[in-house]
Amino acid sequence: MQEERLAIHLKERPSQLLEAKNKGVKIIGYFPGNYVPEELIYASGAVPLCLINGGDSKPAEMALSVVPQVICPFARAQVGERLLGKNPYYSMIDMLVAPITCQHLKKVAEVWEYNGDLEIFKLGIPHQHNNDFELEYFNDRLRALKDRLQAFTGNEITDEKISEAIVLYNRMRELLKNISLLRCTSPSLLSSLDFVKLNHASFYADPAFMVDYLDSVYHELKDKQQVTKTETPKILLIGPSIGYGDYEVLQLVKAAGGDIVIEEICEGVRYYWNKVESKGDLIESLAREYLVDRVPCAFMRYSTRKRLDFALKLIKDFAVSGVIWYELLCCETYDAESYFFSQELGDRNIPMLILESDYSAANTGQFRTRIEAFIEILRGVME
Partner 1 sequence: MIELLELCGYGEQEIESELPRVEKAFNKLGITVDDIERGKQRLNKYYDMELKGVRKALRLILRELVDALLVRDEGVKNVIYGFMAPGFDLLSSALVTKSKDVFSIHHSWAFQIFIGCIFGKIVPILEEAERKWLKAGMVAHCANLKTLVGPLTLGLYPKPDLLVTTGLLCETSPKTIDLFHELYDIPVWYVDACQDRTSGEYPEPSERVAISAAKSLKRLAERIQEVVGFEITDDMLLEVQDAKGKMGEAFDRIRDLIATSAPLPLSPAHENIWMCLNVLALSINGITEATDAVNLLYEELRERVAKGLGVVEKDAPRVLATLPMGQTDPRLEHLACEVGIAIVATDRNIEASIKEIPEDPYLRFGIGMQLGAMHVPPTMRIPLLIEGCKKLNIDGVLDRFHVGCRAVAGDALLIDNAIKKELGIPVMLLEWENFDPRVYKHEEYKKRLEIFKTMMLANKQK
Shortest gap between Cβ of 31 and partner 1 (angstroms)? 13
Is 70 a binding residue for partner 1 by CB under 8 A? The answer is yes
Nearest CA to 282 out of 172, 158, 174 is that of 158
CB of 174 to partner 1, least distance (A): 31
Binding mask 361-380 vs partner 1 (x if CB under 8 A, - otherwise)? Answer: --------------------
Select 141 or 183, whichever has its Cβ closest to partner 1: 141
Nearer to partner 1, 224 or 301 (CB): 301
Q: What is the DSSP letter of 65?
A: G
**Ramachandran class of 154: left when φ > 0, alpha when ψ lies in -120 to 50, beta otherwise:** left
**Which strand ranges, in their side-by-side order, compose the sheet holding 119-124?**
47-50, 27-30, 95-100, 119-124
Question: CA-to-CA distance for 44 and 150, rounded, in angstroms?
Answer: 6
Q: Is residue 339 involved in binding partner 1 (CB under 8 A)?
A: yes
**SS3 (DSSP) at 188:** helix
- State the minimum distance, in angstroms, from the CB of residue 69 to partner 1: 8
Is residue 206 involved in binding partner 1 (CB under 8 A)? no
113 near partner 1 (CB under 8 A): yes
Burial 39-56 (b: 16+ CB within 10 A, else e): bbbbbbbbbbbbbbbbbb
Residue span binding partner 1 (CB under 8 A) among the ranges 99-107, 149-157, 230-238, 309-317: 99-107
Q: What is the C-alpha separation between 205 and 16, in angstroms, rounded? A: 10
Size of the site for partner 1 (CB under 8 A): 54
291 binds partner 1 (CB under 8 A): no
**Alpha carbon of 93 to those of 16, 28, 38, 184, 214: distances in Å?**
13, 5, 15, 38, 26
Q: Rounded distance, CA 370 to CA 17, Å?
A: 42
Query: What burial class does residue 120 get, using C-beta atoms within 10 Å of its C-beta: 0-12 exposed, 13-18 middle, 19+ buried?
Result: middle
341, 298 contact by CB (below 8 A): no
Q: Is 194 in the site for partner 1 (CB under 8 A)?
A: no
Which member of 34, 191, 241, 333 binds partner 1 (CB under 8 A)? 333
C-beta of 176 vs 331, nearer to partner 1 = 331
Strands 259-264 and 322-328 come out as unpaired
Q: In terms of Cα–Cα distance, which of 320, 136, 332, 354 is closest to 232?
A: 320
Residue 107 interacts with partner 1 (CB under 8 A): yes or no: yes
> For partner 1, which residue of 133, 158, 224, 366 counts as binding (CB under 8 A)?
133
Residue closer to partner 1 (CB basis): 102 or 190: 102
Residue closer to partner 1, measured from CB, 267 or 337: 337
Minimum CB separation from partner 1 for residue 371, in Å? 20
Q: Give whichever of 219 and 305 is closer to partner 1, judged by the CB atom.
A: 305
Instruction: Decide: is 337 part of the binding site for partner 1 (CB under 8 A).
Output: yes
Smallest separation, CB 133 to partner 1 (Å):
5
Q: Among 25, 332, 377, 379, which residue sits at the site for partner 1 (rule: CB under 8 A)?
A: 332
**Strand (E) positions, 173-244?**
234-238
The answer to the question of residue 249 lying near partner 1 (CB under 8 A) is no
CA distance 90 to 230: 42
Instruction: Please give the residue ranges that form the binding site for partner 1 (CB under 8 A).
Output: 65-71, 100, 102-104, 106-107, 110-111, 113-114, 116, 120-128, 131, 133-134, 137, 140-141, 298-299, 301-305, 329-333, 335-340, 343, 356, 358
